[in-house]
Amino acid sequence: MQRFQCYIDGEFLDGEARYRSIDPATGKDWADMPEAREGDVDRAVNAAEKALYDGPWPKMTATQRGKLLYKLADLVAANAQKLAELETRDTGKIIRETSAQIAYVADYYRYYAGIADKIEGSYLPIDKQDMDVWLRREPIGVVAMVVPWNSQLFLSAVKIGPALAAGCTMVVKASEDGPAPLLEFARFVHEAGFPAGVLNIITGFGASCGAALSRHPKVAHVAFTGGPETARHIVRNSAENLASTSLELGGKSPFIVFADADLESAANAQVAGIFAATGQSCVAGSRLIVERSIKERFLGLLKDKAEAIRIGSPLDMATEVGPLATKRQQDHVTALIHKSVQSGAHIITGGQTPSGEGFYFPPTILDCDGVASPSLAEEFFGPVLSVVAFDTEAEALSLANDTRYGLASGVFTQNLTRAHRLMKGIRAGIVWVNTYRAVSPIAPFGGFGLSGHGREGGLAAALDYTRTKTIWLRT
Ligand code: NAD
């Protein structure tokens, strides 16, 4: 059985307790993990605080910090296969996806390596002859990061990259469900030569380790990705110390298809938009809003494509949909389908929990047209698409905005004037037109409403990890 450790203050440690991580493809234990508790959290935060103010890190120039990030990016790229395999083994995310995503992870570190020496202060032209006034940008402080199991290397890169570029130090809590890739990543942080305590990586359970971290008095900012309910706990805990938060939460993203769209391309985007990562993606296009005149034809295309998807071992390069990450997740998807069918939703394909080992669930399409189905409001975080139809553009927009979330959205049409109206009208942090799921380190990413606040990606994300100091000098 593989064994992993926490990384605290430049050392690899066992953690106060241990637990077993489950392979989602078999449902059996496969790795022995450290479980950080309050004492480990305290040690890690103290190490981060010491590294922030003493030692080599605060004395480094921004260019030197950037060079360390470039080195980290190179190590991630050189060890991509190993990291991808660990992520696949521990979370069930298919190897095709983890291998492709790791390339972006290295790109994000490279992007923020280049940003490190572009975080500028400013000179203020105040109305006094004998006074010079500057704004200095300084690191915000010790940053705590808490992430869910899906895409942990990616979800952490979008926080670690900008925070280290800005000169912060960090304690990163990997999800207890699948921490292997982040714990292994710590080896490359060490090898890259970051000073001890700058980046500490631990794992443990949310209610103990995550809560202790988010309420720690020395934490200045909590960067969180996960569900809205956990976000409320984090905000309450961090409020005790008046720490700031950035929250990347769930979604129930609309995917609007007009009759004039290129239907083949829209269907491919919709299938990838909902079934990639077995639906465990915050931006999953989980509500199809389709023009009534093409509903049957479009659903026919989707059904054929969904039924042709190869389900299998996540470690097999040919597999297109793997298991869900946990039994809890499989039970949640099963229960929500059941509730939706009881409310009147009709299963077009899938919908049955398979027997056999592992936490599998087949690609599922639910026709919810004219039904108040809970599947239209609640996040499955699984491979389930809920479908409704519209007759007018106004109706499409109103259905798209009929959600408390507001992370992503997709619009498929050849009519660009209409696309522009929808871009403005949709209440979500991302609008993709005639494409879905495109990301770049340069483009900000984040949500409205229950999908959270704060943006990741771009220069602004690095500035969010700084605080300004106003300096007055009498000349
Ligand atoms: P979750 O909220 O249950 O857990 C996320 C993390 O929070 C885990 O590390 C967990 O240990 C920790 N945690 C749990 N309780 C805590 C507490 N009381 N205090 C502090 N930390 C605690 O989320 P999940 O179920 O693991 O992940 C799925 C959710 O994440 C979905 O809602 C999904 O949409 C969201 N997500 C959002 C994005 C985004 O970028 N917007 C990306 C991926 C996932």
Residues 165 and 307 both lie in one domain: no
Residue nearest to atom 18 of ligand 1 (CA): 207
222 Cα to the center of ligand 1, angstroms: 13
Residue nearest to atom 28 of ligand 1 (CA): 226
The count of structural domains within the chain is: 2
Q: What is the mean pLDDT of residues 96-104?
A: 95
pLDDT tens-digit map of 422-432: 999 999 999 99
CB 228 within 8 A of CB 200: no
203 Cα to the center of ligand 1, angstroms: 13
Q: Which atom of ligand 1 is nearest to the CA of 445?
A: 40
Q: What is the mean pLDDT of residues 157-177?
A: 98
Domain CATH for 264: 3.40.309.10
Residues 360 and 462 both lie in one domain: no
The per-residue pLDDT for 385 is 98
Residue nearest to atom 34 of ligand 1 (CA): 250
Residues 349 and 406 both lie in one domain: yes
pLDDT tens-digit map of 1-44: 999 999 999 999 999 999 999 999 999 999 999 999 999 999 99
pLDDT tens-digit map of 371-414: 999 999 999 999 999 999 999 999 999 999 999 999 999 999 99
User: What pTM value is reported for the model?
Assistant: 0.96
Q: Which atom of ligand 1 is nearest to the CA of 456?
A: 40
* Residue at 441 is within a domain: no
The per-residue pLDDT for 279 is 98
The per-residue pLDDT for 58 is 98
Cβ count near 251 (within 10 Å) = 29
If one residue of 38, 219, 229, 230 were mutated to test the ligand 1 pocket, choosing by the most ligand atoms within 8 A of its CB, it would be 230
The per-residue pLDDT for 357 is 96
248 Cα to the center of ligand 1, angstroms: 9
Domain CATH for 36: 3.40.605.10
Instruction: Identify the helix (H) or strand (E) that includes residue 110.
Output: helix 95-115
Residues 244 and 376 both lie in one domain: no
Rounded mean pLDDT of the chain? 97
* Residue at 360 is within a domain: yes
Residues 108 and 173 both lie in one domain: yes
Catalytic residue list contains 248: yes
* Residue at 145 is within a domain: yes
86 Cα to the center of ligand 1, angstroms: 20
Nearest 10 degrees: CA dihedral of 292, 295, 298, 299?
A: 160
Residue nearest to atom 12 of ligand 1 (CA): 206
Cβ count near 294 (within 10 Å) = 19
Residues 214 and 321 both lie in one domain: no
pLDDT tens-digit map of 327-374: 999 999 999 999 999 999 999 999 999 999 999 999 999 999 999 999
Q: Kindly give the pairing relationship between strand 346-349 and strand 364-367.
A: antiparallel
Residue nearest to atom 33 of ligand 1 (CA): 250
Query: pLDDT class for 123, splitting at 50, 70, 90?
Result: very high
Residues 203 and 269 both lie in one domain: no
Contacts of 331 (CB under 8 A, 6+ apart): none
Q: Kindly give the pairing relationship between strand 6-8 and strand 11-13.
A: antiparallel
The per-residue pLDDT for 448 is 98
* Residue at 276 is within a domain: yes
* Residue at 451 is within a domain: no
Query: Would you list the DSSP string of 38-105?
Result: HHHHHHHHHHHHHHHHSSSGGGS-HHHHHHHHHHHHHHHHHTHHHHHHHHHHHH---HHHHHHHHHHH
Query: pLDDT class for 435, splitting at 50, 70, 90?
Result: very high
91 Cα to the center of ligand 1, angstroms: 14
With a Cβ cut-off of 6 Å, ligand 1 is lined by 146-150, 155, 173, 175-176, 206-207, 210-211, 214, 225-227, 230, 233-234, 248-251, 282, 379, 381, 407
Residues 226 and 297 both lie in one domain: no
* Residue at 147 is within a domain: yes
Query: pLDDT class for 251, splitting at 50, 70, 90?
Result: very high
Residues 66 and 184 both lie in one domain: yes
Whose CA is closest to 444, among 434, 454, 457, 431? 457
Residues 173 and 322 both lie in one domain: no
Please report how the helices 62-78 and 80-91 are oriented relative to each other, as an axis angle in degrees rounded to 10. 70
CB 237 within 8 A of CB 214: yes
CA-CA distance, 316 to 325, in Å (whole number)? 16
* Residue at 8 is within a domain: yes
* Residue at 442 is within a domain: no
Helix boundaries (H) for 150-262:
152-165, 180-192, 211-214, 228-239
Out of 248, 291, 379, 456, which one is annotated catalytic?
A: 248
Residue nearest to atom 15 of ligand 1 (CA): 206
300 Cα to the center of ligand 1, angstroms: 35
DSSP 317: T
| ipTM attached to this prediction | 0.94
The per-residue pLDDT for 136 is 97
236 Cα to the center of ligand 1, angstroms: 15
Residues 219 and 302 both lie in one domain: no
Residues 198 and 130 both lie in one domain: yes
If one residue of 19, 146, 232 were mutated to test the ligand 1 pocket, choosing by the most ligand atoms within 8 A of its CB, it would be 146
Whose CA is closest to 437, among 407, 417, 462? 407
For residue 365, the enclosing domain spans: 254-433
